[in-house]
Amino acid sequence: MVKVKTKFLCTDCGYESPKWYGKCPGCSAWNSMVEETEKVVKTQGVSTGIFHTKEKPLSIINIESDKEPRIKTGIEELNRVLGGGVVPGSLVLVGGDPGIGKSTLLLQTSHEMAHIGLKVLYISGEESMRQTKLRAERLGALSPELYVLCESSMDGIEEAIESVKPDFLVIDSIQTVYLPEVTSAPGSVSQIRECTARFMRIAKGQGIATVLVGHVTKEGAIAGPRLLEHMVDCVLYFEGERHHSYRLLRAVKNRFGSTNEIGIFEMNESGLVEVSNPSELFLSERPLGVAGSTVVASMEGTRPMLVELQALIASTNFPSPRRMATGVDSNRLNLIIAVLEKRMGMYLQNQDAYVNLAGGVKLDEPAVDLAIAVSIASSFRDIPTKPYDVIFGEVGLTGEVRAVSRAEQRVKEAAKLGFKRVILPEKSLKGWKGPEGIQLVGINSVAEALAVALD
């Protein structure tokens, strides 16, 4: 018997309800309930779609913990973000804004994987095979082991997987794939959930490294149920500004590696090119001898990066001054301004404050606090900082400067790029010695930092 059932699902948390709510009872999100109609087929004692294993429970100390094998993708920046390479049988979700370069990155990755002798199946539900071939010719991604298919039916995709037996599978995108048994439209909560579960069984059962491309909403989150991110092994976000040529690949979930790593690429006519030294990219257009400009040393995972931080302090025409931050946390900006007013005696209540990280990069670690304070003071007093200084440190509410992690790696990156002096927390100097040719100045408070940087 076939019974038509109507229900409402929350696109954020997957909460199911027989009636519509303006506010989801599960996650309190507004206007997230969508209507779906499905056909329920009653079978006599037969359970369909259930994945069952006959393994018995084992003590955790008796389970073999061999290191998982990894496949090098041929793109070092992608290997860094994934934790060393793609794990066979893993399920990876890649999200990003339209036109940011997701398909370009995965087509280049597919070519590199096929170049080392692996069978690769690239399935596109949004482009025809001819369009994919034209893009591959532009990118130089032509290989006899790279198979391309334009298909959106889950049954057709499974037949192609059974025929090709690939080692690496790309689905572009998961929102276009549908199961005929589920009557809702492609891209709906039910379709995404069921299709992802089917791909998960294929990846784990056959040991195929699978990459799913996901659309994102206007808020920047991956479209579909939140359950999608919980089901996969790794979630990557491809970020970047349309007015800049570089792109950032960031991991927000990774069961096989760290989530602090980022990969940096530059988009040009021949596709995405790896950026091995991002510090040179972010400092290439830095002005020298300008008030409000400093260089901060930040850590993204295990990679040190030097970025130019700019601040502009200007008189306001409004009763309440503006505080705008691009690339740094606006709450940290307000905190540092309050410290400068209370501890340093700077009257900033009638001044607009604008802080920007050049190049559009985003940093959220507290080590940029001291550079923000020095940049604001430099612009407020109209005194330029030294062009070959690097500054980093965490600022406390009493005006003290606290130690930060991996100071030695930050200093080595500054020395490699030719900087002459580093202003850093004094407590970060314990236990190591800096490289030759660079002066290390340890400070304990914001007042000491301003006295050194703006002398």
Which residues contribute to the annotated binding site?
96-103
Q: Residue 115 burial (CB < 10 Å; 0-12/13-18/19+)?
A: middle
Tokens of 150: 């334009």
Cβ proximity of 175 and 192 under 8 Å: yes
Question: Collapsing DSSP states into helix, strand and coil, what is residue 319?
Answer: coil
Pairing relationship of beta strands 246-254 and 234-239 according to DSSP bridges: antiparallel
Classify 323 as helix, strand or coil: strand
The span from the CA of 135 to the CA of 93, in Å, is 22
Report the alpha-carbon distance of residue 161 to residue 16 in Å, rounded. Answer: 33
User: How far is the CA of 209 from the CAs of 83, 94, 215, 245, 341, in angstroms?
Assistant: 14, 13, 20, 29, 55
- Show binding-site residues for ATP: 96-103
Q: Give one DSSP letter per residue of 429-445, joined into a string.
A: GTT--PPTT-EEEEESB
Which tokens in the block code for residue 364?
Answer: 């959220």
Residue for token pair 């699902």: 9
Given CA atoms 398, 400, 403, 408 in this order, what sign does their dihedral have? positive
CB 34 within 8 A of CB 22: no
Cβ-in-10-Å burial (0-12, 13-18, 19+) of 54 comes to exposed
| Distance, CA of 332 to CA of 70 (rounded, Å) | 39
Residue 274 contacts by C-beta under 8 Å, 6 or more apart in sequence? 75, 76, 77, 263, 264, 265, 266
Which parts of 221-269 fold into alpha helices (H)?
A: 227-231
Burial class (CB in 10 A: 0-12, 13-18, 19+), 163: exposed
Q: What is the CA radius of gyration of the chain?
A: 26
Beta strands in 255-388, from DSSP E residues, in sequence order: 262-268, 271-274, 293-300, 303-315, 323-326, 351-357
Determine the Cα–Cα distance for residues 269 and 254; give it in Å rounded to an integer.
Answer: 31
> CB-based burial of residue 107 (10 Å sphere; 0-12 exposed, 13-18 middle, 19+ buried)?
buried
